[in-house]
Chains A and B, each alone.
Chain A
Amino acid sequence: MSAATLEPRVHVGRNYLNADYGWKSWLFTLDHKRIALLYLVSITFFFIIGGSFAVLMRINLVEPQGAIVQPETYNKLFTLHGIVMIFFFLIPSIPAVLGNFLVPLMVGARDLAFPKLNLLSWYIYMAGGMFTLYSAIAGGVDTGWTFYTPYSSTYSNTQVTAVAIGVFITGFSSILTGLNFIVTIHKMRAPGLTWFRLPLFLWSMYATSVIMVLGTPVLAITIFLLALEHLFHVGIFSPALGGDPLLFQHLFWFYSHPAVYIMILPAMGVVSEIIACFARKRIFGYKIVAFSSVAIAVLGFLVWGHHMFVTGQSVYAGLIFSMLSFLVAIPSAIKVFNWTSTLYKGSISYEAPMLYALGFIGLFTMGGLTGLFLASLATDVHLNGTYFIVAHFHYIMVGGAVMGYLGGIHFWWPKISGRKYPNAWASLAAAIIFIGFNLTFFPQFILGYLGMPRRYAFYPAEFQVLNVMSSAGATVLGVGYLIPLIYLIWSMRYGPIAEPNPWGATGLEWKTSSPPPTENFAEIPVVREEAYAYAAEEAAGD
């Protein structure tokens, strides 16, 4: 039988990609889908930049005395790696790319509530990015992405003000995105789409948006104060004039801890969508998972002091923050149990998105569990400031968030681009990434436990084997990231044309063409069933 009779001829009709041509139609667009692509290109660019800093760091760490850079340069590398990866890749990634694209589609609307604010958020993001790039080119910053005072405010001679302006500006991009999502989800749901019929991705985006809106302004004022102190040397964070460096840390971590939940909640939302689709089953305990997202967002604001156990915070405050940190692990664990229960007796297939989702569950669990060691006051005294922390957060941020992001890109790629990518290459890349990731970061748990400090350009010779292993893993990981870049771009021209619903998934976004028309839906859909109505579909198919 020829392929022509198996696959219906799919005609590429009018859609948001071919609706208009020319750079103006992209740079002045108000279409949330085009804005999502603008973000996709930008964050890929910043991911490459942040990744390059990491590559240089890992090369340097092949030798105990530092292989290629001086300590001063190394300090700038880890600082800029952190700033670029966190503020310009991880925080925007899923919300600004997948969220922007999918939120209106998933609620059954024609666009977000405030399309102009959406475009503005991208321009603000780019402006902040330009300031940060400038600061990198003009000499870099060596304070660590955490900008601890009084080094950053008083003693550092590097481009602190420039990068502070960059981060300050970019924060508003986050705030506008979050504001847009909250209003859209509250006010623009299609008829019949009640809160408990929403896909869990939207619950995650809602919880993420609440964090963005409540936390980011505090980062903004903290950076503002830091810049003022750097410029006017007043001493609000400097002990010499009666200021307390710890006040900076309180204000900084009030945002930066919830920020890690901005980075992981969207990935959890993606995983819920993928697991349901590729296990052909509704998510076990839908309401519990939905409430857990909200619980993570709320509890996440109560734990910031666990970053300050050893910096001079009161022991009693430390006790409170430690207990609350254990508490916040519970909703995350609940989600893992629910995903696993969803898999149980599901009809599982292992396409690339599912590989990423499964990888997420395993790696996020490891990262999360190691967080408990750090939440415990006594063990944190030993582990703080070591590579254990580095491994912990990379397991969550890279093993978790990045894999969630890649899984989402691979799941919704046919919808976004109207094309399919070769699944064999995608699965190979997922495997390479999984292996490379573990090779890079597992040794770091051991290194940290053995006492190797973080943010050091050199180390005692006995740690070399593990460091070389980690650097080798980083190479494998880099190759793994390059492969999707190649075949996804390739697919935009040569990939098979995608049907409206290539995965047979539930959700309103799959009920319109791939890619969708500019107005999303010919007619606004009416929702009559629960989310993840896979069982009904299965019953119908039997």
Chain B
Amino acid sequence: MTEAEARAHDLGLAHQFADLEQQQEADTLGIWIFLVTEIMFFGGLFASYAIYRWLYFAAFEGGSHVLDVRLGAVNTCVLLGSSLTMALSVRSAQTNNRRALVLFLIATMILGGIFLGIKGVEYDQKFVEHVVPGLDWAPEGKTLASLAPGGLGHAEMYFFFYFAMTGLHALHMVAGMGLLLWLVLRARKGSFTSHYFAPVEVVGLYWHFVDIVWIFLFPLLYLIGGRY
């Protein structure tokens, strides 16, 4: 290849593209289209949730009151913080600051890990309270009193959505953590410069999307009907 081609290749230009600008535009469009597929993927769950919440509001409200709002709110802030650090890591790549890039990526991972840890605590709590549909559904005491008015069968449906929606979200978080780890390893080797940092931005967009899903999950699952 010519010297110009070699330079372009070194900058990470793939052979099917005419220049880096075309490649960057293609990468951006590609990740946004992928995020739209994720909107429709989660969307099916949100649609089902919307139907059953409308049909069985009392049960959903009762189920929602069993959740720990403080943990949910804290987790929301943790994830928002991770979005901040992610945005700052992209900015670090843009400004050729390798050290900051690596640190912010690691910070994002740490915050993501905290989120998953708190989620784990919450899931464990559900087993303690025996409100896990299909696996351990036997609510008792205060929990039972909270759920009974809406109908236990429909309350079980609420918890199904709780686990399905937060579980699917958590799976996406785990995938995101894997992607972040990959970025950290590459960033430490110096793979990203202000001329080429597409993978960082692409993973960043994915991470923000996962954050947005939680932005909706928090009020829809934890704050149904109000707690007055």
Which residue in chain A gives the minimum CB-CB distance to B40?
A217
Interface string of A219-233 (1 = CB under 8 A from B): 011101100100111
B36/A109 in contact, CB under 8 A: no
> What separation, in Å, do the CA atoms of A250 and B52 have in the docked complex?
14
Interface string of A410-454 (1 = CB under 8 A from B): 000000000000000000000000000000000000000000000
A377 at the interface (CB under 8 A from B): no
Q: Which of B1-9, B64-72, B151-159 contacts A (4 or more CB under 8 A)?
A: B151-159
A234/B156 in contact, CB under 8 A: yes
Which listed residue, B16, B45, B134, touches A113 by the CB 8 Å rule? B16
Closest CB in chain A relative to B20 CB, distance in Å: 13
B33 at the interface (CB under 8 A from A): yes
A188/B17 in contact, CB under 8 A: yes
Closest CB in chain A relative to B150 CB, distance in Å: 10
A163 at the interface (CB under 8 A from B): no
> What separation, in Å, do the CA atoms of A183 and B16 have in the docked complex?
13
A216 at the interface (CB under 8 A from B): yes
A251/B44 in contact, CB under 8 A: yes
A222/B44 in contact, CB under 8 A: yes
Closest CB in chain B relative to A316 CB, distance in Å: 16
A182/B33 in contact, CB under 8 A: yes
Interface string of A309-347 (1 = CB under 8 A from B): 000000000000000000000000000000000000000
B30/A179 in contact, CB under 8 A: yes
A110 at the interface (CB under 8 A from B): yes
Closest CB in chain B relative to A190 CB, distance in Å: 10
B134/A216 in contact, CB under 8 A: no
Residues of B within 8 A of A231 (CB): 134
Residues of A within 8 A of B55 (CB): 242
Q: Which of B21-29, B90-98, B187-195, B212-220 contacts A (4 or more CB under 8 A)?
A: B21-29
B209 at the interface (CB under 8 A from A): no
B33/A183 in contact, CB under 8 A: yes
B43/A241 in contact, CB under 8 A: no
Residues of B within 8 A of A468 (CB): none
A220/B33 in contact, CB under 8 A: no
Which listed residue, B16, B29, B43, touches A111 by the CB 8 Å rule? B16
Closest CB in chain A relative to B34 CB, distance in Å: 6
Residues of A within 8 A of B157 (CB): 234-236, 241-243
Residues of B within 8 A of A222 (CB): 44
Residues of B within 8 A of A234 (CB): 133-134, 156-157, 160
B153/A213 in contact, CB under 8 A: no
B228 at the interface (CB under 8 A from A): no
Which residue in chain B gives the minimum CB-CB distance to A179?
B33
Knowing A182-B33, A188-B17, A251-B48 touch, does A235 contact B40 (C-beta < 8 A)?
no
B51/A247 in contact, CB under 8 A: yes
> What separation, in Å, do the CA atoms of A183 and B154 have in the docked complex?
44
Which listed residue, B14, B33, B52, touches A213 by the CB 8 Å rule? B33
A233/B134 in contact, CB under 8 A: yes
Knowing A187-B26, A217-B38, A222-B44 touch, does A236 contact B16 (C-beta < 8 A)?
no
A148 at the interface (CB under 8 A from B): no
Residues of A within 8 A of B38 (CB): 217
Closest CB in chain B relative to A259 CB, distance in Å: 14
B56/A242 in contact, CB under 8 A: yes
B160/A236 in contact, CB under 8 A: yes
A218 at the interface (CB under 8 A from B): yes
B142 at the interface (CB under 8 A from A): no
Residues of B144-192 whose CB lies within 8 A of A: 151, 153-154, 156-157, 160, 164, 168
> What separation, in Å, do the CA atoms of A144 and B44 have in the docked complex?
22
Residues of A within 8 A of B41 (CB): 217-218, 220-221
Closest CB in chain B relative to A178 CB, distance in Å: 8
11 extra interchain contacts, Cβ-Cβ under 8 A, other than A188-B18, A231-B134? Answer: A179-B33, A187-B22, A218-B40, A218-B43, A221-B43, A224-B168, A228-B160, A234-B134, A235-B153, A236-B157, A243-B157
What would 30 A/B residue contacts be, using CB atoms closer than 8 Å?
A104-B16, A112-B16, A113-B30, A179-B34, A183-B26, A187-B22, A188-B18, A188-B26, A214-B40, A215-B40, A217-B43, A218-B43, A221-B42, A221-B44, A222-B44, A224-B168, A225-B45, A225-B48, A225-B164, A232-B160, A234-B134, A235-B153, A236-B52, A241-B153, A242-B56, A242-B157, A243-B157, A247-B51, A251-B44, A251-B48
Interface residue ranges, B against A (CB under 8 Å)? 14-18, 22, 25-26, 29-30, 33-34, 36-38, 40-45, 47-48, 51-52, 55-56, 133-135, 151, 153-154, 156-157, 160, 164, 168
Shortest 10 CB-CB contacts between residues of A and residues of B: A232-B134, A221-B44, A217-B41, A111-B16, A217-B40, A234-B160, A113-B26, A187-B26, A217-B37, A234-B133
